[in-house]
């Protein structure tokens, strides 16, 4: 680079003086002024035009006519002193240049690293990085050269890019004395990818959003949000991404609804927050019955040797029911295999009518105690036992065909004239209807009677909770 060009840059005050004032102070600088023509050795400095060709009489004959008296002796020309070794100055044949290495691909919100070198090895020179945009070259970073003319600088894109970059000497692109070759800088799209939902789901089937982060970011917290009617997003739940970048977020599925959801990263700078595509989830309420075989280990408190029906003839019916809280819950009944289909029909009608059930668990959960089960307001079927309040009679529940429904809201008057359970006494009067009470108009009552069951409310000692085959 010529000294005049460097001087021009320094005059505008944009480049540090030390960077360009004298990149090679130890080397001689060739002057830009005219250079005198060298005089050949042995040539007289001047010859008077009036000197006669002949020798005067007073001049000795031995004096050569061609040798003026004023001609000085020939003097040898000494070479210039040796200059200490310095970085080689660039010339027109070897111009100043700046290299730019190909940067490694990164992700958005992660730095792109640019490195290179000045051809003259200068230290403390100002280097700037520029990105090609549709609007023109845009400054992205700057630094100063270090030992050997090397430099390093970074730029962190906030979106995915695949564009051209150049490094230049100085702070201005179009006035730079040297510009690097073009390099492509690539930042891939960081994103959260969530699964595409099914058209609809059934309540209590483990509905969830699953997906992964790209790239894998183990330990990153991601949040499941749903869109409210006022346009705001509500936090539902969160989880940490696993070692492979995967996540699994459950969606509340204990009631029917349609909601729009998305997954958002949390605990990162605002500029680095990633948001998945939003998706629409439809959850429908349904009985969703499932039938399983029964092993003796499943009925340790309600079955014993000598009972009229063994585990092989029993079935576990798992199904949904509506709770008093307006949500769907999962219940289970142990019953006779021959009664399964009838019970599915009964409970489908009961579920569709939104008739509330307090609890539906195997009596084994209560140690096989009918009184404890009733006190817990538990709906149940099989329990090999005597009739509560009548120790001399085998209960119809021993056959797995009878069923008790909402035992607190529908109490039982035993043969000994005691009402069970004790916490259901306020429900003895049936004139005021309350949730969970059974009447002849109730969906459960009508459906059970329609399947050939008898309702214990019609006995002289009413049993409002009890149904058994006729």
Write down the pLDDT at residue 179: 98
CATH for the stretch 98-188: 2.60.40.10
For residue 93, the model assigns a pLDDT of: 55
pLDDT at 401: 97
Chain position carrying tokens 């029993």 = 314
Predicted pLDDT at 391: 81
> Is CATH 3.40.50.150 what the domain over 191-284 is classified as, yes or no?
no
Task: Return all residues near 268 (Cβ < 8 A) that are at least 6 apart.
Answer: 220
Does 191-284 match 98-188 at the fold level? yes
Q: For the chain, what are the domain ranges?
A: 98-188, 191-284, 290-469
In whole angstroms, how far apart are CA 410 and each of 401, 424, 428, 436, 443?
A: 19, 7, 8, 8, 15
pLDDT for residue 149: 98
| Predicted local confidence at residue 116, as pLDDT | 99
Q: What distances in angstroms separate CA 74 from CA 77, 358, 394, one per listed residue?
A: 10, 128, 148
pLDDT tens digit at each of 470 positions of the chain? 444 444 344 333 333 333 333 333 332 333 333 333 333 333 333 333 433 333 444 444 444 444 444 444 444 444 444 443 344 444 555 789 999 999 999 999 999 999 999 999 999 999 999 999 999 999 999 999 999 999 999 999 999 999 999 999 999 999 999 999 999 999 999 999 999 999 999 999 999 999 999 999 999 999 999 999 999 999 999 999 999 999 999 999 999 999 999 999 999 999 889 999 999 999 999 999 999 999 999 999 999 999 999 999 999 999 999 999 999 999 999 999 999 999 999 999 999 999 999 999 999 999 999 999 999 999 999 999 999 888 878 999 999 999 999 999 999 999 999 999 999 999 999 999 999 999 999 999 999 999 999 999 999 999 999 999 99
Q: What is the pLDDT of residue 193?
A: 98
CB 361 within 8 A of CB 302: no
- pTM over 0.85, yes/no: no
- Name the helix (H) or strand (E) containing 319: strand 314-322
In 3-state terms the chain splits into helix, strand, coil percentages (rounded to 5) of: 15, 30, 55
| CA distances, 68 to each of 19, 45, 239, 308 (Å) | 57, 11, 108, 155
- pLDDT value for 91: 52
Please state, in angstroms and rounded to a whole number, the distance separating the CA atoms of residues 240 and 266: 10
């Amino acid at each position: 680079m010529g000294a005049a060009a460097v001087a021009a840059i320094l005059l505008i005050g944009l480049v540090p003086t030390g960077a360009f004032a004298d990149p090679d102070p130890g080397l001689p600088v060739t002057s830009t002024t005219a250079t005198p023509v060298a005089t050949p050795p042995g040539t007289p400095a001047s010859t008077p035009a009036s000197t006669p060709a002949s020798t005067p009489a007073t001049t000795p004959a031995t004096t050569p006519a061609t040798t003026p008296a004023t001609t000085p002796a020939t003097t040898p020309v000494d070479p210039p002193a040796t200059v200490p070794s310095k970085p080689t100055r660039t010339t027109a044949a070897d111009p100043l240049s700046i290299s730019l290495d190909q940067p490694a691909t990164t992700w958005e919100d992660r730095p792109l690293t640019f490195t290179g070198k000045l051809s003259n090895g200068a230290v403390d020179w100002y280097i700037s990085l520029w990105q090609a945009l549709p609007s023109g070259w845009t400054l992205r970073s700057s630094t100063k050269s270090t030992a050997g003319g090397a430099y390093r600088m970074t730029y962190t894109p906030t979106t995915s890019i695949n564009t051209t970059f150049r490094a230049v000497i100085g702070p201005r692109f179009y006035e730079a004395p040297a510009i690097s070759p073009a390099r492509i800088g690539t930042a891939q799209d960081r994103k959260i990818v969530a699964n595409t939902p099914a058209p609809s789901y059934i309540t209590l089937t483990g509905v969830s959003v699953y997906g992964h982060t790209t790239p894998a970011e183990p330990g990153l917290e991601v949040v499941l949000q749903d869109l409210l009617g006022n346009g705001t997003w509500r936090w539902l739940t969160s989880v940490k991404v696993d070692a492979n970048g995967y996540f699994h977020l459950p969606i509340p599925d204990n009631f029917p609804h349609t909601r729009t959801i998305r997954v958002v990263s949390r605990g990162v700078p605002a500029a680095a927050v990633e948001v998945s595509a939003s998706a629409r989830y439809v959850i429908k309420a349904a009985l969703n019955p499932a039938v399983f075989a029964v092993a003796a280990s499943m009925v340790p408190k309600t079955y014993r040797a000598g009972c009229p029906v063994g585990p092989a003839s029993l079935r576990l019916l798992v199904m949904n029911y509506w709770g008093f809280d307006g949500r769907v819950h999962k219940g289970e009944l142990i019953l006779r295999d021959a009664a399964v289909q009838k019970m599915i029909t009964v409970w489908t009608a009961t579920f569709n009518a939104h008739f509330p059930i307090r609890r539906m668990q195997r009596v084994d959960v209560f140690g096989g105690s009918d009184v404890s089960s009733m006190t817990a307001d538990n709906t149940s079927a099989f329990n090999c036992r005597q009739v509560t309040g009548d120790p001399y009679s085998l209960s119809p529940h021993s056959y797995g065909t009878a069923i008790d429904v909402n035992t607190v809201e529908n109490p039982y008057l035993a043969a000994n004239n005691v009402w069970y359970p004790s916490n259901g006494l306020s429900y003895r009067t049936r004139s005021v209807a309350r949730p969970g009470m059974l009447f002849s108009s109730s969906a459960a009552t009508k459906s059970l009677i329609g399947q050939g069951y008898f309702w214990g409310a019609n006995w002289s000692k009413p049993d409002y909770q009890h149904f058994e085959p006729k």
